[in-house]
Chains A and B, each alone.
Chain A
Amino acid sequence: MHPAYSVILFTTASGAGYGLLALLGLAGASHGPASSAAFALAASFIALALVTIGLLSSMLHLGRPERAWRAFSQWRSSWLSREGVASVVTYAPALAFAAIWSGVIDAPQLIGPLGIIAAIMCVVTVYCTAKIYSTLPTIRAWAQPLTAPVYLAFSLVTGASLMTAIAAVFNRFQSFQVIVAVAALMLLAVLKFFYWRAIDSAEKTRTIEAATGLGRIGSVTQWELPHTATNFIQKEMGYAVARKHSAALRSFVFLLLALALLAMLASLAAPLIAVLAAVFALAAAVVERWLFFAEAQHVVTLYYGEKRA
C-alpha cells in the first residue's frame, strides 16, 4: 500500500495527542486540579494541537476537503465515519477538562468525570482509526487481531513519553510517569513483535489462479498489462519498495523503542532526558506507521502479476 505522508502524520500525531490527552484526563481524575496552571495549559494545548494537526492532515489526504463534513454521516456502517464523529465529539470533554483542570474555570468537582469521559473518548477514537484498517479483508497484514492493540499501544507510548517530557520541562516530573511510559514501551515492543510474527507466518492463501478463476485450466502468469503506463491501482495498492528493506526497518523500530526506554530510565536521574525519550518514541511511531502501509500487500496485486497474496 502506498504510504501517504498525510495519513502517516495523521495517525501518529493524532495517536500521540489522544494518548497524551487520555493520560492527562486520568491524572486529573486521580490527583484533582493541576498543581501548575502553566503545565496544565501547555500539556492540554500540545495534546489538542497534535490531535488537530493530525485531523487536518487527514483532510488534506482527501480529494475534496471542502466536503469533509459529509464524512460524519455514515457512522452506522463505516469505521472512517465513526472515527470522524468520535474525533469531533472528543473535543467537547477535552476542552472542558483542560479549562477546569488548569483552573481557568473553577469547577473542581467536574475534573474527575470530565477527565474520565475524555480518556474514554480518546481510546474510542484511536480504536476507530485502527478499525478502518483492521476491517479490510483485502489486506492480510492489516486484518489482524493485533492491529488495533498495536495502534492503542503506540498511542499510549507516545502519549506517556510526551507527558513525562512536558512534566520535566515544567518541573512537574514524577517517577510514576516514567513507570507508565516504561511499562507501555515494553507492552508495545511485545505486541509489535507478535504482530510482525503473525503477518510473517500468515499463509498467503489467495492466488493469481483464484483471482482470475483460471486455476481450473492451469497455472497462471501475467502475459500483458491492460495499459502502458502505471495506473491508480498500481500506484495506490502496488507499492512494494518497503518489502525489500522491511527486516532492517523493523530492527530500526525496535532500536528506537529501546533508546526511548533507556532515555526514559535515564530521566529518573536527569528529568529533561525524557524529552529525548519522547523524540525516540515519536520517531519509532513514524517509522512503524510507514512500514504498516508500505509492507502491506493488497489482494488486487494478484491481477497485476503477483502469485500470492
Chain B
Amino acid sequence: MTSLPQPSAKKLGLVIDLDTCVGCQACATSCKEWNTQGYSAPLTDNNPYDADPSGVWLNRVHGYEVKEQGREQSRIVHFPRSCLHCEEPACVTVCPTGASYKRAEDGIVLVNPETCIGCKLCSWACPYGAREYDDSHGVMKKCTLCVDRIYNDHLEPEDRVPACVKACPTGARHFGDLGDPASPVSLLVKEREGYDLLPEMGYKPVNKYLPPRARRDAATTKPIELPKGDGTAFDRLFTWADQVLSRKIIGTRGDDTDYSGKLEG
C-alpha cells in the first residue's frame, strides 16, 4: 500500500559529516559492491570500460565550491547524496502499484523490484534525485539503507551497518535511530547543528547533514610578511643576502616551461 503508515517511533537513517568527508568515493563504491549482490541486485553497469558508461548508483558524491563571505579563497565541500528516507516521501504516495513503500517498523523507504512497473513517476516526485531507473530490468532502484546488512544475523554485530558507513575511512558517515532523541546520532546532530536538505519542501528527510566547521585562519592564504629587522649583525647578513639574491641577472632566459598540464597532440 502506497499510503503512508503511521509515523514509526524508530527512524533509521544516516548522518553525513560534510566537515570530514574527503570525497574518496569509498561509500559510493562499497554501496555499489554490496548492492549489486544484495536486495537491489544486480546494479546495472552498462559499458563500464567504454566511452559511454552508464548505470545505477544508489549513492553519488558531488563536489561543491563554496565562496565564503570575506574570504579570498573558496573551499571545496564533498557532498554524498543518496535517499534521505523521508518521513513524507512523495515517491511512495505517487507510486501506482504499491511497489514503493515506507516500512512501518523503522521508516526505511524501499522499492519491491518484483512489482515495480518502471513508470519513473517516483523519480519525478523526489527532489533529491535519490531514485534511478535500471534500464536493464525496467524497474527503479534506490538506497535500501542496506536492509539486508543491518538485520543480518549472519554478519558480525559490528558489520550490521550500511556498507557506506562501514567503508568510510574518515568516519564521516553515521548510522542510527534518529527517532530516538538520546541515540548517538541524534546527539551528534544536536551538537553539530545538523540540518535537513530543502526542509521547506515538506518531505521531512530523516537523514541529516552536519555542516563543515568554521575554517581556521591559518588555513587561509594570507601572504606571509617578512618580520621587521632588529638591526643585529645577523639580521644585516640576511638583508644583504636578500638584496643579492633579489638582483636581476641580465641575459637569463625566461622560464618557458609549460605548467598548464595539457598533454601534447
Contact = CB atoms under 8 A, between A and B. Distances in A.
B65 A232 contact: no
Interface string A218-238: 111111111111111100110
Contacts, number: 198
Contacts of A61: 119
Contacts of A236: 120, 123-124, 133
Contact of A226 (B60, B68, B99, B120): B60
Contacts of A136: 90, 94, 124-125
Contact of B126 (A74, A138, A221, A229): A138
B112 to A, nearest CB: 10
B183 interface: no
Interface string A55-69: 000000111110110
Given A211-B198, A233-B132, A64 B90 contact: no
B212 interface: yes
Contact of B94 (A79, A216, A222, A223): A79
A175 interface: no
> Interface majority SS on B: helix, strand, loop or mixed?
loop
A210 B65 contact: no
B220 interface: no
Interface stretch (A41-49, A94-102, A146-154, A297-305): A297-305
Interface string B1-39: 111100000000000001000010000100000000000
Nearest to B201: A137
A213 B90 CA distance: 21
Contacts of B98: 70, 73-74
B76 interface: yes
A71 interface: yes
Given A62-B117, A64-B116, A71-B119, A226 B95 contact: no
B212 A217 contact: yes
Given A1-B124, A64-B117, A220 B96 contact: no
Interface in B56-108: 56-57, 60-69, 71, 74-77, 79, 81, 90, 92-99
Interface in A62-116: 62-65, 67-68, 70-74, 76-81, 84
Interface residues on B, range: 35 or more
Contact of A220 (B64, B90, B119): B64
Most buried by B among A70, A211, A217: A217
Interface in A186-239: 206, 208, 210-214, 216-233, 236-237
Most buried by B among A70, A84, A213, A229: A213
B53 interface: yes
Contacts of A300: 126-129
Interface stretch (B134-142, B157-165, B166-174, B235-243): B134-142
A228 B52 CA distance: 9
A298 to B, nearest CB: 7
A236 B128 CA distance: 14
Contacts of A224: 23, 62-63
Nearest to B197: A213
Interface of B: 1-4, 18, 23, 28, 52-54, 56-57, 60-69, 71, 74-77, 79, 81, 90, 92-99, 115-121, 123-129, 132-135, 137-140, 195-198, 200-202, 209, 211-212
11 contacts: A78-B2, A78-B95, A135-B94, A136-B124, A208-B64, A214-B64, A217-B212, A218-B68, A220-B66, A231-B54, A300-B126
Interface of A: 1, 61-65, 67-68, 70-74, 76-81, 84, 132, 135-139, 206, 208, 210-214, 216-233, 236-237, 298-300, 303
Given A70-B96, A78-B2, A227-B57, 4 more contacts: A210-B198, A226-B28, A299-B201, A300-B128
The 10 closest A-B pairs by CB, nearest first: A63-B118, A63-B138, A224-B63, A226-B60, A81-B96, A71-B96, A70-B97, A218-B68, A223-B65, A300-B129
